[in-house]
């Protein structure tokens, strides 16, 4: 555990007790006596009111009605938080109303000079998806799908779900074990293991009309699900060597299922291995466009002929 993280945890530990000793801190956090004393002194310096008790069994008391010291942000931390809010607005993210109240509280903590800096940033910076005619940070203009927050609340309780989706005017229910909830190409998707056909499926959240917890007695164990998924892993048919320029492009954007392995300590070369379903026209087109996006700094070890032909055809259109 890093020092900053440890001190934060110790502060919460102390705040929930009326009295504690150095020995208790040593045992609880597996640290030496000198480290425990040094951490306590730093916590005192941060403003937590502690009273030392003298004697053989002495320890520390936390003053009555005391609370954790207020969080203080540096100027750069404030700018980082604010810019993160700016970059993610109009992204149909869940808990949008909570994001609004969080932004209001953050702004309320700031000095006038800090607020002036943020107002200036809000006027100058524009991100993809931002409406330049209405760039207000607190504007609730792009609400997410109404089922998204309900889905998240359920999956925090349990990942075995019964989801109901509408597909071309037909309503169907699927018992799933949720693997991932992700956002790609501005759309939220559910990646789940279908407990009926025992296969991986993708369900658009936009098609979701209801979600419930799946009954305990009908479930398959997580271990069995993972074993089944491993058996169904597609054979790798695309292998590339990436140079530094291609790695930089990869970091800007890559499909969810694609990952790379660095081949040197400086992370300037890497290997990409994945499966391309050449029988799926949409996936084939997407992969072709993305490989062209990576640029010329790649070497092909293995590639399906269909992908190669798609890249040639696209290049002919450009030339």
Strands lying side by side in the sheet with 260-262: 260-262, 270-274, 238-242, 298-302
Torsion of CA 103, 109, 114, 118, to 10 degrees: 10
**What is the C-alpha to C-alpha distance for residues 159 and 113, in angstroms, rounded to an integer?**
46
Structure token pair of residue 242:
């990436």
Whether residue 284 contacts residue 227, with contact meaning beta carbons closer than 8 Å, is answered with: no
**What is the C-alpha to C-alpha distance for residues 168 and 281, in angstroms, rounded to an integer?**
20
Domain boundaries, given as residue ranges, for the chain: 3-62, 72-144, 148-231, 238-318
- Residue 243 backbone dihedrals phi, psi, to 5 degrees: -90, 180
- Residue 100 backbone dihedrals phi, psi, to 5 degrees: -65, -50
Q: Which residues of 272-293 are buried (b: 16+ CB within 10 A; e: fewer)?
A: bebebebeeeeebeebbeebee
CA 95 to chain CA centroid, nearest Å: 15
Q: What is residue 58's predicted lDDT score, i.e. its pLDDT?
A: 64
**What is the C-alpha to C-alpha distance for residues 155 and 21, in angstroms, rounded to an integer?**
40
Successive 10-residue mean pLDDT values, the chain, 319 residues: 80 80 89 89 79 69 59 77 82 79 76 84 77 56 82 93 91 94 86 91 92 89 88 84 95 87 92 89 90 93 92 80
Q: What is the CATH number of domain 3-62?
A: 1.10.10.10
**What is the C-alpha to C-alpha distance for residues 233 and 229, in angstroms, rounded to an integer?**
6
Residues listed for the chain: 319
- Residue 93 backbone dihedrals phi, psi, to 5 degrees: -85, 150
DSSP β-ladder status, 60-62 and 270-274: unpaired
Q: What is residue 246's predicted lDDT score, i.e. its pLDDT?
A: 95
Q: What pTM was computed for the model?
A: 0.60
**What is the C-alpha to C-alpha distance for residues 177 and 191, in angstroms, rounded to an integer?**
9
Q: What is residue 168's predicted lDDT score, i.e. its pLDDT?
A: 81
Distances (CA, A) of 156 to 117, 183, 228, 252: 37, 18, 24, 30
* Identical topology for domains 3-62 and 148-231: no
What single DSSP character describes residue 45?
Answer: H
Instruction: Name residues whose C-beta falls within 8 Å of residue 206's C-beta, 6 or more positions apart in sequence.
Output: 145, 187, 188
Q: Tell me which architecture the domain covering 148-231 has in CATH.
A: Roll (2.30)
Q: Count CB-CB contacts under 10 A for residue 242.
A: 24
Whether residue 177 contacts residue 192, with contact meaning beta carbons closer than 8 Å, is answered with: yes
């Amino acid at each position: 555990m890093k020092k900053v993280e440890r001190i934060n945890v110790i502060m919460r530990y102390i705040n929930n007790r009326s009295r504690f000793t150095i020995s208790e801190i040593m045992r609880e956090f597996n640290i030496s006596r000198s480290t425990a004393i040094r951490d306590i002194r730093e916590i005192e310096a941060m403003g937590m009111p502690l009273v030392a008790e003298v004697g053989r069994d002495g320890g520390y008391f936390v003053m009555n009605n005391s609370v954790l010291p207020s969080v203080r942000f540096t100027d750069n931390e404030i700018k980082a938080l604010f810019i993160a809010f700016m970059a993610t607005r109009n992204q149909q993210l869940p808990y949008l109303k909570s994001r609004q109240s969080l932004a209001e509280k953050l702004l309320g903590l700031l000095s006038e000079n800090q607020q002036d800096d943020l107002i200036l940033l809000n006027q100058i910076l524009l991100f993809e998806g931002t409406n330049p005619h209405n760039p207000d940070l607190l504007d609730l203009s792009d609400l997410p799908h109404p089922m998204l927050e309900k889905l998240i609340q359920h999956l925090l309780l349990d990942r075995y779900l019964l989801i109901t989706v509408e597909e071309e005017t037909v309503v169907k229910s699927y018992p799933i074990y949720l693997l991932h909830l992700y956002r790609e190409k501005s759309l939220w998707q559910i990646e789940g293991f279908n407990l009926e056909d025992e296969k991986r499926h993708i369900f658009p959240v936009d098609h979701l009309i209801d979600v419930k917890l799946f009954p305990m007695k009908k479930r398959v164990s997580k271990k069995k699900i993972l074993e089944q998924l491993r058996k169904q892993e597609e054979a790798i048919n695309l292998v590339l060597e990436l140079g530094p320029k291609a790695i930089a492009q990869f970091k800007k954007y890559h499909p969810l299922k694609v990952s790379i392995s660095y081949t040197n300590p400086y992370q300037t070369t890497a290997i990409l291995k994945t499966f391309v379903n050449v029988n799926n026209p949409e996936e084939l087109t997407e992969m072709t466009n993305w490989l062209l996006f990576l640029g010329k700094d790649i070497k092909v070890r293995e590639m399906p002929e269909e992908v190669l032909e798609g890249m040639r055809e696209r290049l002919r259109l450009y030339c």
